[in-house]
Every structure is written in C-alpha cells, then in structure tokens.
C-alpha cells in the first residue's frame, strides 16, 4: 500500500526540502513549525525553489509549481497530524527539543504511524526511547538540498522493526530516493566522519594555517571533491554543525569531537552560513 499522507515537522533548511520533495512526488503533506512567520517564509522559499529548480537541473524542471505547493498544508497545529501515515521530523538538532516533539507526536499520531527522524547525529535508539513505539522509529538522514540529492542514509535503531525499514524504503522510493541502511551509533556513517573533517578544517583557519578559500581549494583540486569542508559547513548551517558536534561529544565522551572555539564564536556572532547570508563566505542576502 502506498503511503500518501505525510507529516513533516520543522520548516527550516531540511523540513522545507523534505516537504517540497514529498509534494512534488504527489504526497499530501502537513508541514509544522512553531510560528506563522516561519511557515510563511517556508511557503515562499518552496515556491521559489520549485520555480527555479530547472535552472540547476533541467530534468527537475517543474511547470505546475502552484499545484505542488497546494499539496502542502502549513500549520502550527500538531493536532493536524492525527491521521497521517508517516512523520518525518526535522526540528533543530537539540535533544531536549526533539524529545518533547516525539512525546507529543506519540500522543497525537495513529498508533501505527511511523516516525522518521532526520537528525545529523542523535542516536535513533534514544529517539525511540522517547516514545511508546520504538519499533516504529527509524532514522532518515536526508542530504541537503533534499529535492536534488538522490541518496538517504537510513538508520536502524535498536528496536526498529523490519516492517518499519521496508515501509521507509517504500516511501523513499516513492520520493525518487535511493538509500543505504546502517546500524545505529551517534553520527551514523556520514557525520561521524564529516563532522570531524569540518571541525578540523575550522581549526586550520583558526590556527592561521590557511584561509577558508585555500582549505576548500585543496579539497576540490587535490581530492576532486565538489565542495570543500568549509563550503559544506556553510551549506549545512554552522549552528547545526555546532549542535551536531555537541551531540557527538556528549554521546561518545570523546574529546576528538570537541567543537572548535572559532565555530562557537561564529555561531555566537550569528554567522550561520548560507541560511542567513554569512558564514565562512558571504551569500548576498
């Protein structure tokens, strides 16, 4: 049976992309955030993304973008999730906030509704423990920008059932995604490696070994990466990088994950990267 009705929690960088991707692939979406202002901005960002998507990738060009946006119900009211089949949660990478969200979802959603957590580093087993349905909780680590990235890292928590994995694969297929399923440990495969690389690259800039531009140039020119680690950090969001390193540091109790002081300083100064126009680079917003 196709999954048709999906709740998306959080209308930030990732939630907007997930909602857009779902609506584009003919799902009915309920998109939740905490304020009407955030939702209004999300609606206009999604509309613009749909209008200009074809500029970057001709095969992704869409004509009927107004109809697609109509498939997304934007609301601050969690009770609108009472009859969705599947939830993809994308709230900020802070465990106390996510924990409260899962406790609320557990009360509101149908008992067979699957909860997929889009997190950078938080253990899916821990997420499952915040609910009375740990077998229905799974990790779906989407890549940014979601509508343009084919691959999703799927994480099997300690109690995640095979049926939940199969239903999640089905939904991802409906969204035109491929996936790799991995076992649960904080940071999974991708961010256990990537966050260390990004953090060390920030140390290099702080220690005045090289400028951000030169660090990135080395990764692009010498290793053939599409983007250097600091461009990647700006794309993800420096706040999200810091919160993810905090999660990894706390989860493993290992000093190798200590966030670089320059990263903390930039986040304190409000430099979040692409999402608000300034990080290691400027984005002219």
Does 202 interact with ligand NAD (rule: CB under 6 A)?
Answer: no
Residue of closest CB approach to ligand NAD = 12
User: Is position 120 annotated as part of the catalytic site?
Assistant: yes
- Per-residue contact track with ligand NAD, 63 to 82, x per CB under 6 A? --------------------
* Distance from C-alpha of 162 to C-alpha of 168, rounded to nearest angstrom: 10
Does 119 interact with ligand NAD (rule: CB under 6 A)?
Answer: yes
Does 276 interact with ligand NAD (rule: CB under 6 A)?
Answer: no
User: Is position 27 annotated as part of the catalytic site?
Assistant: no
The single residue of 5, 129, 135, 153 carrying the catalytic annotation is 153
Among 101, 109, 171, 198, binds ligand NAD (CB under 6 A): 101
- Per-residue contact track with ligand NAD, 203 to 242, x per CB under 6 A? ---------------------------------xx--x--
Among 26, 34, 256, 258, binds ligand NAD (CB under 6 A): 34
User: Is position 191 annotated as part of the catalytic site?
Assistant: yes
Which residues in 235-272 are b (16+ Cβ under 10 Å) and which e? ebbbbbbbbbbbbbbebeeeeebebbebbeebbeeebb
Does 14 interact with ligand NAD (rule: CB under 6 A)?
Answer: yes
The single residue of 21, 27, 141, 199 carrying the catalytic annotation is 141
User: Is position 153 annotated as part of the catalytic site?
Assistant: yes
The single residue of 118, 167, 191, 244 carrying the catalytic annotation is 191
Among 13, 127, 263, 271, binds ligand NAD (CB under 6 A): 13
* Distance from C-alpha of 142 to C-alpha of 33, rounded to nearest angstrom: 19
* Distance from C-alpha of 276 to C-alpha of 271, rounded to nearest angstrom: 7
- Per-residue contact track with ligand NAD, 128 to 167, x per CB under 6 A? -------------xx-x-----------------------
* Distance from C-alpha of 265 to C-alpha of 92, rounded to nearest angstrom: 19
Among 6, 23, 33, 199, binds ligand NAD (CB under 6 A): 33
Does 189 interact with ligand NAD (rule: CB under 6 A)?
Answer: no
Does 126 interact with ligand NAD (rule: CB under 6 A)?
Answer: no
Among 93, 184, 231, 246, binds ligand NAD (CB under 6 A): 93
Residues that bind ligand NAD (CB under 6 A): 9-15, 32-34, 38, 90-93, 97, 101, 118-120, 141-142, 144, 236-237, 240, 244, 275
């Amino acid at each position: 049976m196709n999954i048709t009705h999906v709740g998306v929690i959080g209308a930030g960088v990732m939630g907007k992309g997930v909602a857009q991707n779902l609506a584009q692939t003919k799902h009915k979406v309920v998109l939740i955030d905490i304020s009407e202002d955030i939702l209004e901005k999300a609606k206009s960002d999604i509309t613009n993304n749909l209008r200009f998507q074809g500029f970057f990738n001709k095969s992704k060009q869409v004509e009927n973008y107004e109809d697609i946006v109509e498939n997304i119900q934007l609301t601050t009211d969690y009770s609108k999730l009472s009859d969705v089949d599947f939830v993809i949660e994308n709230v900020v990478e802070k465990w106390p906030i996510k924990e409260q969200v899962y406790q609320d979802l557990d009360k509101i959603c149908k008992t067979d509704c699957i909860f997929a957590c889009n997190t950078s580093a938080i253990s899916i087993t821990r997420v499952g423990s915040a609910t009375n349905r740990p077998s229905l909780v799974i990790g779906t680590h989407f890549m940014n920008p979601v509508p343009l990235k084919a691959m999703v890292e799927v994480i099997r928590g300690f109690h995640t059932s095979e049926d939940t994995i199969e239903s999640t694969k089905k939904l991802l297929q409906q969204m035109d995604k491929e996936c790799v399923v991995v076992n649960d440990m904080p940071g999974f495969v991708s961010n256990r490696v990537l966050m260390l690389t990004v953090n060390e690259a920030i140390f290099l800039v702080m220690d005045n070994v090289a400028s951000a531009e030169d660090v990135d140039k080395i990764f692009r020119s010498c290793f053939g990466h599409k983007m250097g680690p600091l461009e990647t950090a700006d794309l993800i969001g420096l706040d999200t990088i810091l919160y993810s390193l905090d999660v990894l540091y706390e989860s493993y109790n290992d000093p190798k994950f200590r966030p670089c002081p320059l990263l903390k300083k930039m986040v304190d100064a409000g430099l979040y990267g692409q999402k608000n126009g300034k990080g290691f680079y400027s984005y002219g917003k």
